[in-house]
Chains A and B, each alone.
Chain A
Amino acid sequence: MDHDTHAHWHDDAHGGAPSHAHAPEALSWWELWPMLAWGAFTVYLYATGRIFYLLQRFYGHLALGAGVVLLAAFAYGWLLRRRRLREDAAAEAAPAPAAPGAPCACAACRGRAGAGRYLRSLAFIVPLVIGLALPRHGPNALAAIQWGAGDLAMMAQLAAQRETERAEMQRGYGWLTLVGVAQRLAAGREEKVGAMGLIARKAGMPDDQFYLVRFTMACCAACAQPVAVPVQWAEAASLEKDQWVKVFGRLDASARLFVADDVQPVREPADPYM
């Protein structure tokens, strides 16, 4: 039993029944610190905007709410713990005599709460370390290939889930998101368009082609789906994967390709999702 964490009364004056001193019990630091750490971590990710690389807006705000609740729970639990320890110290001055009776049967007294509690507590360190070391961007080119880039039917279906996009004119090209480009490719329209995305390549692709990719996200990065438009450009081999580019060109409906006239490297946008 973890004597340091709660004053545990084997109050057998009640004939072995669970004592009222079981509730509330002082929370252990093994339970309190993950609440503080995870709450602070969530608030930090939200404050730096990094949470929106991982979660859709609504779920990002929800995670912040949960983080604040965890911090509040930590604060209240800490106050309860302090009060409990003060009560223990006061009770030390006038200890009650022991009474015979059946031993307390709760898990803590039987020593069954030990190892699992410590392991679970320590396990919380892992995601905190990983989360702080993650780079500040959305899913990468590998995710695009793993999660279905090149599946034109899926791309068309993702595009169909959105309203038909209107183009804004830029340099004589209709500027669109990749969803808009996918909608026009699926509809067989041959237009001059421009779009932005990151570069991905699948094994076996011709050297003059790459996928221009951007992700849609329904709830979190785990469910992100790539909208990947195949682009043909003579100098494609000079481009690196995961590089963000703006592409201007025309749609070739018969070949289901975006034939590029110009490709410009750009910085990753603040919101990499569509």
Chain B
Amino acid sequence: MAYVRTNAIERRDKIKIALFVAMVLAVPAYIVLPWAHARLEDFFSTARAQLFGQVLIAILLEAFPFVLIGSIVSGLVEVLVPSERLSRVLPRRLWLRLLLAAGAGVVLPVCECGIVPVTRRLIRKGLPLEMAIVFMLAGPIVNPTVIASTAVAFAGQGLSLAMTVARVVCGVAVAVAVGAVAARWFVRRAAGPADEAGPPPGRAPRGPILPNVLTHVVHDFMLLGGYLLLGSVIAAGLQAFVARDLLAAVGGTPFLGTAAMMLMAFLLNLCSEADAFVAAAFSQFSFAGRLGFLVLGPMLDVKLVAMYLGAFPRRMLLAVLLLVPPLCLGLCELAGWLHALLAG
């Protein structure tokens, strides 16, 4: 193969070109930018546009730190964890592996945005897809911060223990069930999206650690940040145009009420560390309904689906989309029935 080498332009020439372009663009920019800014301000003087903009920027500002944290963890995993060691420590029995994956969220507490780059990197390191699914779905629910916030949010209604335990149990059960089904589906590990530059999966790149980590952090952040942006635009649009009380009309209805709350969780795109306070306020919904909100939200919402699209194989995404909602609905209704039975 022929030796290929870039021909770098002289640095001085680059500076000259940059100055020239800046001068050429300066005059029209001086005229166009204030005009554009004024038009944008006019557009955002309408109430709905303001609402859309505020929700969009709020979701992004809240989610980006966690995506960054997840990208940093992912970069560290890529550089420091050899694949061979990962495959050696995994148990052989399927159920043990699935439970281990579910419990890993306690040790590695990341929210649902941050867990996506970490899971993606672990898959590239050789983690079986069924374990990755369980870790990704259960991790944000068994996160100690999420457990604590759930307990605090429902304390005033005397449901602190019941809702917290139900959330963890149902969340883990849904995740393990999806993982068990996925273990049957995936005969071999499917390759992840091949859209990033860098060494193929499985081989730790040689060279200094920090620059390596930075490269992977930036790649992951840019990849997932783009899909997060897409999801946030859709979520903000839904919040600006769909009234929440449309769903509240079916509040106390069995199954339908739970499905409505799950749909609301999908549309609202809340962080799992604060969604309990929002769920607690929906007093017109049943225990099962509010539980459905809390279990589905960290697993599936608009921005998460967008991020999954960019991060994971299509079959994995399909498994999650097809299995999580019905399992969540069924288990939460069962938990609601049990709670009613025990509470008398």
Q: Chain A, 183-223, contact with B by CB distance < 8 Å: what is the 0/1 string? A: 00000000000000000000000000000000000111111
Give 1 or 0 for each of A6-39: 1 = CB within 8 Å of chain B CB.
Answer: 1111101000001010111101000110110010
A107: Cβ under 8 A from any B Cβ: yes
A218 touching B277 by the CB < 8 A rule?
yes
Counting CB contacts under 8 A, is A143 at the interface? Answer: yes
Q: Interface residues of B, CB < 8 Å — how many?
A: 86
Given A127-B60, A146-B239, A154 contacting B281 (CB threshold 8 A): yes
Question: Looking across the interface, which residue of chain A has its beta carbon closest to that of B235?
Answer: A222
Judged by a CB distance under 8 angstroms, whether B30 is at the interface is: no
- Interface positions, chain B 240-285, Cβ under 8 Å from A, are 240, 242-245, 248, 268-271, 273-275, 277-278, 280-284
Q: Give the residues in chain B near A269, CB-CB below 8 Å.
A: none
- Provide the residues of chain A in CB contact with B274, threshold 8 Å: 56, 218-219, 223
Q: Which residues of B contact A42 (CB under 8 A)?
A: 61, 64
When each residue 139-179 of chain B gets 1 if its CB lies under 8 Å from chain A and 0 otherwise, what string results? 00000000000000100110000000000000000000000
Task: Count residues on chain A whose CB falls below 8 Å from chain B CBs.
Answer: 101
Chain A contacts for B156, CB-based, 8 A: 160-161
B55 with A221: CB separation less than 8 A:
yes
Cβ contact within 8 Å between A151 and B245? yes
Contact call A107/B281, Cβ cutoff below 8 A: no
**Most chain A beta carbons < 10 A, residue from B54, B208, B239:** B54
Closest to B251 in A: A153
Please give the distance in Å from A116's CB to the nearest CB on chain B.
5
Indicate whether B50 reaches chain A with its CB closer than 8 angstroms: yes
Minimum distance in angstroms from A107 CB to a CB of chain B:
5
Of the stretches A65-73, A168-176, A244-252, A253-261, the one at the interface is: A65-73
Q: 9 closest pairs, A vs B, by CB?
A: A120-B226, A23-B205, A98-B3, A108-B197, A24-B211, A219-B274, A66-B65, A221-B58, A218-B274
Binding site for A on B (CB under 8 A): 1-8, 37, 40-41, 43-45, 47-48, 50-51, 53-62, 64-65, 68, 153, 156-157, 194-200, 203, 205-208, 210-212, 214-215, 217-219, 221-223, 225-226, 229-230, 232-233, 235-236, 239-240, 242-245, 248, 268-271, 273-275, 277-278, 280-284
**What are 30 sample pairs from A and B whose C-beta atoms fall under 8 A apart?**
A7-B5, A8-B6, A18-B200, A20-B206, A20-B207, A23-B215, A51-B61, A66-B64, A85-B8, A88-B8, A102-B1, A106-B200, A107-B196, A108-B198, A138-B54, A141-B47, A143-B54, A145-B243, A146-B239, A153-B284, A154-B282, A157-B283, A161-B156, A218-B275, A219-B271, A221-B54, A221-B58, A222-B58, A223-B274, A225-B278
